[in-house]
Amino acid sequence: MPMPNRKIPHNSSDKEQLGYIMQMLIELADIARNHDFTMLDYLISMAVTETNDILRGARPTTPLPPA
């Protein structure tokens, strides 16, 4: 089943881009959950958590350099 062709403009803000990514991840997690793809649901849900943390400012948007 192909995903609908939904796009967000490239000139939108980082926050808008992250919000869009989070919406897509939530939809994918729902699909995985509905089909009992437990590990896939878990991994996608972790990505949702990471995205939410970035949006809240709890995590940097880029990795920190090695110490």
Instruction: Show me where the domains of the chain are located.
Output: 14-56
What lies within 8 Å, CB to CB, of 38 at 6+ separation is 32
By C-alpha distance, which of 19, 44, 15 is closest to 32?
44
Q: What is the pLDDT of residues 8-59, one digit of tens each?
A: 777 788 889 999 999 999 999 999 999 999 999 999 999 999 999 999 988 7
Give dist(CA 57, CA 51) in Å, integer: 10
pLDDT of the residue at 6: 65
Contact 18, 51 (CB under 8 A): yes
pLDDT of the residue at 3: 54
pTM: 0.74
**pLDDT reading at 2 higher than 70:** no
pLDDT of the residue at 67: 72
